[in-house]
Chains A and B, each alone.
Chain A
Amino acid sequence: MISDPITWIFVAGVLLLLGAATTVGHFLKGQPESGLNPAMVQTFNRRIRAWWLLCSLVAAALFLPQSATVVLFGLLAFWALREFITLTPTRLSDHRTLFWVFILFTPLQFVLVGLGKYDLYSTLIPVYGLLFVTARVAFSGDPKRFLERTAKIQAGLVLCIYCLSLAPALLYLNIYSTADIRLLRELPPGTDLVPQPYGKNPLLLFYFVFVVQMGDALQYLWGKILGRRVIAPAVSTTRTWEGMLAGSGSTALLGAALYWATPFNEWQAGCISLVIALAGFAGGMAMSAIKRDRGVQDYGTLVVGHGGVLDRIDSLCFAAPVFFLLTKTFFTLP
């Protein structure tokens, strides 16, 4: 894995890009009379810092054993859920439900991912978690706003824990290119020349995180340049139709250009990048709606002094299950 040249080229490219962005951000910070809004420069610099953090996380996946990557993603998801629930008003009678959500379901989901038990981790939260939360809230004996309360906890559990856990789950898939899959299907039994799986799953995870983050940036950038029609002013004042379409389109081109790092061909890489960029955009919209409902600007200001992890990974939360399921459906053997 580490000795693979493609991995090194990819990582070096990302490092160069991040380095360049950091330099630009630093330069802009030192130029107060550049005419740019200082708040915008600050936002830009904060985003770059978050990218370094995320990229180091997935770069670590290249060197660490799979289980360590799962643990790192588990911590990230844990923190995101903390922010989500802190922001969500719950009643005191939800306390014990929340306790089990944090202490049992969150670690268990990542343990199951780490053991590669697809049948279990794909159902733990959407089925058992949902049933448990509904039942446990009922057992608490407080029927006030029952559906609303269970829905809040379930949404937090699914969006922060389940969705995000499917990103490191990529590491455990046996991925083939579509050509190899066709070949494997037609292969007569007992043939020696069996196609090998793709095998560079940590690199694919890196590719996924990179494309989603670039999608965020390009949608924001195109929104600034072309943005005319705001999609929903009450939800987000910066997200426009132009930003979404142009941003996702250019992300698709970028994803296609990087196809050599993946098991996909140019077309497949482009289509998948388009879909995950759109999913990421949807994630940003959804999390904005939650924030507006609570009347906060970002999750970071909700409890002052915290970085706002959820602000940075909202797009990942939505894109991860889509990317995982597409890869699993079309690029693995059943």
Chain B
Amino acid sequence: MTGPLIAMIAKLLTGASARWVDCQPDTCQRVYFANHTSHLDSLVIWSSLPGVIRNLTRPVAAKDYWGKTMLRRYVAGHFNALLIDRKDIKVHQSPVDLLLREIGSVNSLIVFPEGHRSAGTQIGAFKSGLYYLCKKRPDLEAVPVHLDNMNRILPRGEFLPVPLLSCITFGPPMWLETGEQKADFLDRARENLLRLKDA
């Protein structure tokens, strides 16, 4: 009950409209990777997925933001967020292994491979986490998701959102090719994401 309500409020607040370009909603295991511009990103992408898929999808979110207050913890708990502590990464407990263990053979993930929120409309270089996810689980579909205008709704450093309109574009899925190098794959992923901007 709370889940759909949170999704509805998030969609109303951000005026988010979802577009699927050469891609259909599917319950197969996926890694949605998106440009990161706002703390609301993970919540809004999760909210814009159809209900059935939403229940199977776990957004990765920063523990230092979503774990901070009771309200945020409550909301994060109800949108199935996987809170990752960015400061406390240990060698024997790599976040990639942790994520893969959490999703098992059922769930999908929402990740932000830029690692941190970009200030404006630029999309930064991707961190290698996406590559290792796809390398350890080559069956995962990597789906690029482009967020437009979210950075104006809740920019970094602000805590009160302005209810403007935003657009979420889901692009065609991609996979790690056999023998594809890390840098090549990450470049290709970033290109696919950038292409959605004008799709």
Residues in chain A within 8 A of chain B (CB atoms):
82-83, 85-86, 90, 92, 95-96, 98-99, 102-103, 302-306
- The listed residue (B17, B152, B163, B169) touching A306 by CB distance below 8 A is B17
Who on chain A is nearest to B21 by CB?
A: A304
Q: Give the docked Cα–Cα distance between A131 and B149 (Å).
A: 28
29 A-B contact pairs sorted by A residue (CB < 8 Å): A82-B15, A82-B163, A82-B164, A85-B162, A85-B164, A86-B15, A86-B164, A86-B165, A90-B152, A92-B151, A95-B152, A95-B158, A95-B162, A96-B160, A98-B162, A99-B161, A99-B162, A103-B160, A302-B165, A303-B15, A303-B17, A303-B148, A303-B166, A303-B167, A304-B19, A305-B19, A305-B167, A306-B17, A306-B165
Q: A83-B165, A99-B160 are in contact. Are A92 and B155 (CB under 8 A)?
A: yes
Could you tell me the dominant secondary structure of chain A's interface residues? helix
- The listed residue (A86, A92, A96, A102) touching B149 by CB distance below 8 A is A86
Q: Give the docked Cα–Cα distance between A131 and B101 (Å).
A: 56
CB of B155 within 8 A of CB of A304, answer no
Measured CB to CB, the closest approach of chain B to A34, in angstroms, equals: 32
Chain A residues whose C-beta falls within 8 Å of the C-beta of B149 in the assembled complex: 86, 303
Chain A residues whose C-beta falls within 8 Å of the C-beta of B160 in the assembled complex: 96, 99, 103
Chain A residues whose C-beta falls within 8 Å of the C-beta of B158 in the assembled complex: 95-96
Residues in chain B within 8 A of chain A (CB atoms):
15, 17-19, 148-149, 151-152, 155, 158, 160-167, 169
Q: A86-B149, A90-B152, A92-B155 are in contact. Are A305 and B162 (CB under 8 A)?
A: no
CB of B155 within 8 A of CB of A102, answer no
Chain A residues whose C-beta falls within 8 Å of the C-beta of B161 in the assembled complex: 99
Q: Give the docked Cα–Cα distance between A103 and B163 (Å).
A: 9
Who on chain A is nearest to B152 by CB?
A: A90
Q: Give the docked Cα–Cα distance between A219 and B15 (Å).
A: 32
Q: A303-B148, A304-B19 are in contact. Are A95 and B164 (CB under 8 A)?
A: no
Chain B residues whose C-beta falls within 8 Å of the C-beta of A304 in the assembled complex: 17, 19, 167, 169
Q: Give the docked Cα–Cα distance between A102 and B15 (Å).
A: 14
Measured CB to CB, the closest approach of chain B to A284, in angstroms, equals: 22
Measured CB to CB, the closest approach of chain B to A15, in angstroms, equals: 31
Measured CB to CB, the closest approach of chain B to A219, in angstroms, equals: 28
Chain B residues whose C-beta falls within 8 Å of the C-beta of A85 in the assembled complex: 162, 164
Chain B residues whose C-beta falls within 8 Å of the C-beta of A82 in the assembled complex: 15, 163-165
Measured CB to CB, the closest approach of chain B to A27, in angstroms, equals: 31
Chain B residues whose C-beta falls within 8 Å of the C-beta of A92 in the assembled complex: 151-152, 155
Q: Give the docked Cα–Cα distance between A102 and B167 (Å).
A: 20
Q: A82-B15, A86-B149, A90-B152 are in contact. Are A303 and B162 (CB under 8 A)?
A: no
Who on chain A is nearest to B160 by CB?
A: A99
Chain A residues whose C-beta falls within 8 Å of the C-beta of B166 in the assembled complex: 303
Who on chain B is nearest to A93 by CB?
A: B155
Chain A residues whose C-beta falls within 8 Å of the C-beta of B169 in the assembled complex: 304
Who on chain A is nearest to B151 by CB?
A: A92
